[in-house]
Structure 1
Amino acid sequence: MTDLAISQTDVYQATLAEPDQKTPQVSTEDVRRILADGSAIVLDSRKRAEYAAGHIAGARNVAPAPGAPPSEYVAAVERLVQGDKSQSLVIYCNGQYCKAGRQLSAHLAEAGFTSVRRYQLGIPVWRALGGPVEIELEGIVRIFGVDQTVVYFDARSAEEFAQGTLPGAHNVPADAVATGGFEKVPMPRNDFNTRIVIFGRDKAQGRKLADAIGKTPFQNVSYFPGVFEQLSVVIKPKPV
């Protein structure tokens, strides 16, 4: 069993103190910096369906079809980096007890990739520490109408919201959050793990609201990185 090697000064610098690691690990702070400066590709090693349902904002996914051999996954990563096996990669999955990241990292190292690291804390800790999470269009389509517990927030203006929004969505204009925009919203305060999905006019607007909610106790928050028109094509808007 592994333990968290927690910095005395900052939990964001924690990693898993795993013995006999085949590839080194990075911390949450490292991933934040890497995403900001683009010094590595952050790669989600989970199945495509899991990635679509929620992934670290800015992460990539090239998972082959379920059941494909490891060689096919390695080949997909090689295509992603255009054959450059020195490309810096950071692999993550579903956390401490998930094997996907370890396995893909080991296969890549065996195939000659020379700069592979793991964020083994994975998306559970990323969420818990307020890291931004994106949900793909196919992920929203899959859960819409199936998971009745999801709360949808529309980050557009009140005027845009009134012209049509997703059925059941609540309007929380991203620009109004700083002036108490949450006060009149029916937040699921009896369960802070309730899935919250945010969308806006565009990626920037959705991300702005997601970042604000990320500073609250709610941990299961994701935003759609596309434009509202993409959603309105597959899920018919409802006038307010």
Structure 2
Amino acid sequence: MRRNRIRLVIGMMLAGALAAPAQAQQPSAQGPAAPSIYHGVISNFGSGRELSTGELQQVLMDSTAIVLDARPYEEYAVSHIPGARSIRGKPGTTPALYVADASEVVESLPDRNQALVLYCNGLYCGRSERFAEELMSLGYRNVTRYQLGAPGWRALGGVMQMEKPALLRLLGQDKTSVLIDGRARADSKPRLKNAVWIPLREASKAKDDGRLPMTDHNTRIFVVAGNGHEARNVADAIVRDAFHNVTFFDGTIADLPELLDEES
């Protein structure tokens, strides 16, 4: 009896040993946990540490750094990461080798320990790297770069902010663009000329009733409202409906007399 039990135990051990390698070869049904795209960086070993999109989102939420746009003002005005500051260009540089003027930072932000985040036009844009080099040579010790830049921010669902000169110019030049009135009431006064009324509560509904351009999700969409906060909320909602060329104006409709309907 005892001999039979010993044989049974040895048999079970052998069976387990043979089964283990086979089990090890079977891939997990879940697979390894994939890294989040929001944690990715380019890692191009340029000047200053790179921030991921997730880190930049946290910086903006907590106001732990000042974000500087390293592009010319004309590009900044068309679309920029909300809250970013524009820096004038360094005199004497060509468009191809444009670099922001570090002397403006010295004048406005003399504290060399101030946390600064720089960005420009994405993977192959060298403006933020050149700007970082100049700032670090002047003694700024806390300079980081968001090298994914404006294209990466937009691609990962980030809404963009625009300035009045660009809004007026693009509405005149791009006849395919859509101007959104994001105020809560359809009868709000003053009225915007040629605007489509889409309040926050109807952002998704507007995909089905023709108010949003469903045949071209790259259409320029400009959102204005009673204030910048309201406009951004509507713009965010439209972005989350898979439109990726959405910008909002951070002022009020009263700041845009050029766009008001004179009969309203």
Q: Does 1:13 align with 2:39?
A: yes
Task: Tell me: higher relative CO, structure 1 or 2? Use CA pairs within 8 A at least 6 residues apart.
Answer: 1
Aligned residues: 228
Once residues 63 and 80 of structure 2 are traced to their aligned partners in structure 1, the CA distance between those partners, rounded to angstroms, is 17
Corresponding letter in the other structure for 1:10: S
Corresponding letter in the other structure for 1:78: V
Q: Select the residue among 78, 89, 93 that pairs with 2:120.
A: 93
For residue 187 of structure 2, give the secondary structure of its aligned residue in structure 1. helix
Cα deviations by residue, 1:170-216 (Å, 9 ceiling, x for unpaired): 000124337x3543243222221111100001111101101101212
Match of residue 136 from structure 2: 109
Match of residue 74 from structure 1: 102
User: What is the RMSD of the two structures over their aligned residues, measured on CA atoms?
Assistant: 2.2
TM-score by length of 1: 0.88
Match of residue 203 from structure 2: 177
For residue 180 of structure 2, give the secondary structure of its aligned residue in structure 1. strand
Corresponding letter in the other structure for 1:80: S
For residue 158 of structure 2, give the secondary structure of its aligned residue in structure 1. coil
Q: Do the aligned partners of 1:172 and 1:182 also contact (CA within 8 Å) in 2? A: no
Q: Select the residue among 56, 63, 85 that pairs with 1:60.
A: 85
Provide closer, same or farther for how the CA distance between residues 72 and 190 of structure 1 changes in structure 2, counting only shifts above 3 A. Answer: closer
Corresponding letter in the other structure for 1:235: L
For residue 49 of structure 2, give the secondary structure of its aligned residue in structure 1. coil
Q: Does 1:237 align with 2:261?
A: yes
Once residues 213 and 219 of structure 2 are traced to their aligned partners in structure 1, the CA distance between those partners, rounded to angstroms, is 7
Q: Does 1:218 align with 2:243?
A: yes
Q: Do the aligned partners of 1:172 and 1:185 also contact (CA within 8 Å) in 2? A: no
Corresponding letter in the other structure for 1:130: G
For structure 2, which runs of at least 5 residues remain unmatched after alignment? 1-32
Q: What is the deviation of 1:97?
A: 0.7
Q: What is the deviation of 1:35?
A: 0.4
Q: Does 1:186 align with 2:211?
A: yes
Cα deviations by residue, 1:29-65 (Å, 9 ceiling, x for unpaired): 0110000101000110000010011100111112237
Provide closer, same or farther for how the CA distance between residues 71 and 155 of structure 1 changes in structure 2, counting only shifts above 3 A. Answer: closer
Structure 1 moving runs of 4+ over 4 Å? 68-72
For residue 145 of structure 2, give the secondary structure of its aligned residue in structure 1. strand
Q: Do the aligned partners of 1:47 and 1:66 also contact (CA within 8 Å) in 2? A: no
Task: Tell which deviates more after alignment, 101-110 or 7-16.
Answer: 7-16
Which structure has the larger Rg over C-alpha atoms?
Answer: 2
Q: Do the aligned partners of 1:64 and 1:76 also contact (CA within 8 Å) in 2? A: no
TM-score by length of 2: 0.80
Task: Tell which deviates more after alignment, 66-75 or 134-143.
Answer: 66-75
Match of residue 3 from structure 1: none
Q: Do the aligned partners of 1:15 and 1:26 also contact (CA within 8 Å) in 2? A: yes
Q: Do the aligned partners of 2:203 and 2:237 also contact (CA within 8 Å) in 1? A: yes
Once residues 76 and 179 of structure 2 are traced to their aligned partners in structure 1, the CA distance between those partners, rounded to angstroms, is 19
